[in-house]
Chains A and B, each alone.
Chain A
Amino acid sequence: MKNQWTNYYTGYVKVKAFGRGTERLINSLTRRGLHVWDVKRIGTEALVFYMEISDIPKLRQIVRKSDCKVTFLHGKGVPFLWKRVLKNSGFLVGLFAFLFSIFILSNMVWGIEVHNAKPETEHAIRKELERMGVKVGKLQFYLDDVDTIQRKLSDEIEELTWVGVELKGTTFHFQVVEKQQPKKVEATSPQHLVSKKKSIITEMFVEKGKSIVKVNDYVGKGQLLVSGIIGTEEKPEIVSAKGVIKGQTWYKANVEVPLETKFSVYNGDEKTKHYLKFWNVSIPIWGFIKPDYSNYEEEVTIRPLYFLQWKLPVSYKEKTWRSKEEIKRVYTKKEAVAEGKKMARSNLEKRAEEGAEIIGEKILHESIENGKVKLSIHYQVIEDIATGQSIIQGD
């Protein structure tokens, strides 16, 4: 007996035969070697049976010689299924078009929201974003990643201290911290002014309060400068002392400058490979040669693809190799000293008060040790030394 499992793939038809001598028809069919199965009697004069598509021409020949007539009821198997799929291909195309458009729309930018920014800053951010191409309707695929946008924004816009960039679905959220914070309301609680560090007073401007010290006085740390208690001793009045007391202070800075420094810098050579990432498997699609840089840095960018809110297991991966070169910087002693001074000054600016003025600079000690220039510099600085110290009431 013939195996029947291939019938499904080659296709078969259900045939109805009617007329006189349907049995004879079946006999002649089988004698001609046609494969016939599932024969059933319908009523008195009709039979239904199944047969292979490829046997239909033979069936026609045999039927012509018999007293029967045949009609085909329906076809089954892959050829018919395929025909139906083609006939309904509009639906299929529509379904794919629909999924594709949802996929495209899911990967677009649909909103840009800037939080906690003044209108001017927000405008600047939006303008900068537009310049970078971050616009509503753009494909996320072509945009820089979140970290790059964040870095570019902080670099380009002066007013920003920090900007948090977050991509939530199709919306960019920018969390802004601006440099100019609203000024704090000045403390009006009763206070003295005391010295922050030891110094010689050079300038005094007292707005409120009773000054205790004079110009050219030497004061130590924490010494009372301007008292918040005014009036006579019998009838004291407590106020919030206010004023600017400038004094000369001294700083000593120690810096070390190596004469030889090695840097690694990019020399501009780079190579990029593109991959499609399925789950954890990366399949290269462009760029197959691994660069033979002796010294390089690798950078990997992965761009996820979305379908509605779901991250697809497929993502696009870009791998960039940047060639690096070692560069040696050599200072002469003179250059090293100049560099050291510069470093010391910028260090000093951090340590001293804002608006401090350097009036004197003196190198105390200078030596070369282990290929390093060691400097010890003394600075004279004029700065505001006053700070508030609240008066505890009821004393």
Chain B
Amino acid sequence: MKGGSFFMARKWGQQLKQLIVKKADLPEDVIMDLPRITMIGQLHIYIENHQGLLAFTDREVRLMLKHGHLLIKGSAFVIKTILPEEIMLEGQIEQVLFINE
């Protein structure tokens, strides 16, 4: 997530938010619309604050984020639950990639 903050720092508002986060010790994902990702080994991945499903196959899942995409690679993917801002993915997870455009 460090790489993400570097690119977001360009915007004025983002800079302010980052400041607030640093000074007020507030959780980054709430203030800055960052995804909160929880993984249980390679079995589960739980992503909050995503913006929608872009692509879904059993080897690759692409999620839209506020800024950029999140690419998850692996095999035998099954979406256990999907809600507007949350997704729970099951399968053999090999890579989690942030793609910034």
Contacts and interface: CB of A to CB of B under 8 A. Distances in A.
Interface stretch (A29-37, A83-91, A109-117): A29-37
B29 interface: no
A41 B83 contact: no
Given A1-B86, A1-B88, A41 B56 contact: yes
Interface stretch (B18-26, B35-43, B73-81, B93-101): B73-81
B84 interface: yes
Is chain A's binding surface mostly helix, strand, loop or mixed?
A: mixed
B54 interface: yes
A27 interface: yes
A297 interface: no
Contacts, number: 47
A387 B88 CA distance: 111
B58 A40 contact: yes
A44 B56 CA distance: 10
A40 B58 CA distance: 7
Nearest to B53: A23
A44 B79 CA distance: 16
A38 interface: yes
Contacts of B81: 1-2, 36-37
A26 interface: yes
A37 B82 contact: yes
A23 B54 contact: yes
Nearest to A40: B78
A73 interface: no
Interface residues of A, number: 20
A39 B55 CA distance: 12
A1 B83 contact: yes
Interface string B38-69: 00000000000000111111100000000000
A40 B86 CA distance: 17
Nearest to B78: A40
A39 B83 contact: no
A348 B100 CA distance: 128
A47 interface: yes
Contacts of B79: 26, 36-40, 49
B58 A38 contact: no
Nearest to A4: B81
B84 A41 contact: no
A66 to B, nearest CB: 13
Interface centre among A2, A38, A41 (most CB of B within 10 A): A41
B85 to A, nearest CB: 9
Contact of B77 (A1, A37, A41): A41
Contact of B84 (A22, A30, A37, A44): A30
Given A27-B52, A36-B79, 13 more contacts: A1-B81, A1-B83, A26-B79, A30-B83, A33-B84, A35-B83, A36-B81, A38-B80, A39-B56, A41-B57, A41-B58, A44-B57, A49-B79
18 contacts: A1-B86, A1-B88, A2-B81, A22-B56, A23-B56, A24-B53, A26-B79, A27-B52, A30-B84, A38-B78, A38-B79, A39-B79, A40-B78, A41-B56, A41-B57, A41-B58, A41-B77, A47-B56
Interface of B: 52-58, 77-84, 86, 88
